Structure 1
């Protein structure tokens, strides 16, 4: 098949490969000939073939496998957050908030101002803008502007798109939040793994990523997904010191757990850093269907982000903005959010204690899920749990490197289990490990 590739320029060669792929002659996984071989067959300079493969890689049509060569990409099924489809098992890998703890929006809907918003008006509701500024100013030691996006993932995608080109490198936590992995891969960027320990992103890992030329860093300052780790003050200070020599690297902090977190907010963003964004969505406490996030950024990033919004989603619905503001300023709702935060913390701590009583290390962390370390492959344990009626997520799904060693971690969402179900899961997990 690959001997049908034609062309004398990089653009012609790339276009030929694209055509063969579109017609199904080159299928996903099909290897392309080595650069020297292709250049010799086509009678072109080796650099021309290299440039063609680079164009294809930047377009996401091929991927380099190192010594295994370059292969055609496909539309691979990738793990997604949320409930697994079509399963009769008890799903403890969802990462979802408890729907019983999400405030009812009905009272707020009755109090939303009814004035219509027309083209050309400010895209951010004035009241929400003022509230968001106060919310962020308490934690961000830098001048900032507020942009409203359709959730945190939307904010991250647009932030990367306004700052990067295809094949630019992005530092990601490893293990990593699934949406961040997908966003970076679908954008055509290169993910550089930064290990995460119990204090969050590691200093040596970040330093290595910066040495590798990353142009953006995506960090979860607290309740890191999937590990639940939160930055300590000492770790955050050390990371800021490393970033001080890279003021134009875009820092994106996804503080997704914000109002539910039991940990103080510690930031990578120093007062003199030039490109940054602190993103806080309302999905975890007002519900995933409230697709709204606050992005506090430097002025230039705010201008670029506004330009990225304008071609498609010109603004986030003002009805949604007013609904969020009405709930966020309602004392009854904020009391419900505080109660939900306490519930998640208490249930996760109780489950972790049960595991430790049975010899399974499970540090109490922040977030909606627990990161449970196992003495053997998580896939084996997960398969044994399936036979006992449970569906869990293994750490393999959150690894940046598909060729990494099998994970020894499970991510478990257990806050909605009652005491009896929690005890049953622990017993089944202990049996599966043995």
Structure 2
């Protein structure tokens, strides 16, 4: 290209580097580079369904607002503490009481005792951890299907994704081993309420994954526990099996996405790098917000069992109704149900015509087969059968319902 354009090869190399760092292209060593279907910074939000008036929206992935606690009392209390003891430059970035409570909860769930940081949500925390250890061109093993925002974040950082398959019990050990042997430097795992499939890492699966990771101790392991507070599945963490690791627990699903809050723990080197870089940017997450979250936690503003029961009953009812109609679906935990379909675009369109909006699986897939994601968080029991009928009709192909 340099010869064809009559420019210095370094200029071409710099152009490629800029395109890669901006997520416009993906490079794959000697196999060359390819242009992404969409720049990573554009995001997968363009793959969405416009919901016409009168159509029931089950596509958003949002929690049920009726299950979210009121925030005003907690913030009023936190602001009052700030009036009496303002947080100024040089103060500790993490509220001491919050660190103690979060550390105790994480320890009770089997996460090793380690330093603590606070980030503006789980995606912010994951980005900081990846940036602390990886460089453009490095490979990150990710769940497929997986969280669309994460699948966009990785290439936006100039990194390459390597898909790992999963079932209801989490990432498949053989796929993880294959990815690590192929050169993946990091692995990101969703412990519970995996988006979009609802997978939850079981105890046997955790043992198998720890064995694989034990063979690759230099892997950067990142765990996302955004389902904390809304699931009835126990946590089986992988943290500590590799030299560098991070465990992220956010408050979005249980307490409200607008909190933009997550606690982050990990090995000393990772947390030192993350905290040091944070000091050079936002500095810290508002201590008023931290105190408000602490108040919500200590006051028991959310009953995790009741929330998990509410989501679980809706999820299980839909899966059972679909099974009765010959349609297989997945949803072991959380607020989403994943339905494999033979024709994703057609299924989404037919459901829209039937009065239901669901999320296209393309928002969550790399190489995995087509599917649709249905958010059950606001479904009423008397809507389940109607939705199941619509889904069964939408996935029918040639008179046979599309079961995978």
Residues 140 and 5 (structure 1), Cα distance of their counterparts in 2 relative to 1, 3 Å cut? farther
CA distance in 1: counterparts of 2:239 and 2:336, whole angstroms: 26
Which of 243, 246, 249 is the aligned partner of 2:213? 243
Rg (Cα) greater in structure? 1
Name the SS of the counterpart of 1:171 in structure 2.
strand
Q: Indicate yes or no: 2:120 matched with 1:150.
A: yes
**1:261-293: per-residue Cα shift (whole Å, max 9, x none)?**
1111112224x5321111000000100001110
3-state SS of paired residue (2:188): strand
Question: 1:363 Cα deviation (Å)?
Answer: 4.5
* TM-score of the superposed pair, with normalisation by structure 2: 0.89
The offset of 1:394, in angstroms, is 2.5
**Which of these residues, 309, 319, 325, is aligned with residue 294 of structure 2?**
325
String of CA shifts for 1:153-186, please: whole Å, max 9, x gaps: 0000010001100010001011111121011010
Q: Deviations over 1:329-358 (max 9, x none)?
A: 003x133x4322210011111111111121
What displacement does 1:71 show?
4.3
Structure 2 unaligned residues grouped into runs of 5+ = 397-404
For residues 73 and 3 of structure 1, what CA distance do their matches in structure 2 show? 27
In structure 2, how many angstroms separate the alpha carbons of the residues matched to 1:74 and 1:397?
12
Structure with bigger RCO (C-alpha 8 Å, 6+ apart): 2
Residue-by-residue CA offset, 1:367-413 (whole Å, 9 max, x unaligned): 11111233x21221111111122211132221124xx6x51x21101
Residues of 2 paired with 1:316 and 1:243: CA distance?
Answer: 32
Equivalent position to 1:62, from 18, 25, 29: 25
Partner of 1:33: none
Matches within 5 A, 1:27-426: 53=16, 56-58=19-21, 60-63=23-26, 70-71=34-35, 75=39, 77-80=42-45, 87-88=52-53, 89-112=55-78, 113=81, 114=83, 115-270=85-240, 272-331=241-300, 333-335=301-303, 337-374=304-341, 376-401=342-367, 407=370, 409-426=371-388
CA contact (8 A) 2:26 2:155 kept: no
- Match of 2:198, SS state, is coil
How many matched pairs?
389
Decide whether aligned partners of structure 1 residues 262 and 72 sit closer, same or farther in structure 2, where only a CA change above 3 A counts.
closer
Contact 2:350–2:394 (Cα < 8 Å) also in 1: yes
What is the distance in 1 between the residues matched to 2:257 and 2:175? 32
Shift of 1:313: 1.2
* C-alpha distance in 2 between matches for 1:383 and 1:96: 21
Q: Quote the Cα distance in structure 2 between the aligned partners of 1:82 and 1:328.
A: 36
Runs of 4+ with deviation above 3 angstroms: 1-4, 53-78, 80-87
CA RMSD, Structure 1 to Structure 2 (Å): 2.6
In the alignment, is the contact (CA less than 8 A) between 2:188 and 2:221 conserved in 1? Answer: yes
Equivalent in the alignment of 1:6:
6
- Paired with 1:358 and 1:387, the residues of 2 have a C-alpha distance of 20
Q: Secondary structure at the match of 1:170?
A: strand
Look up the SS of the partner of 1:334 in the other structure: coil
Give the gaps of 5 or more residues in structure 1: 19-52
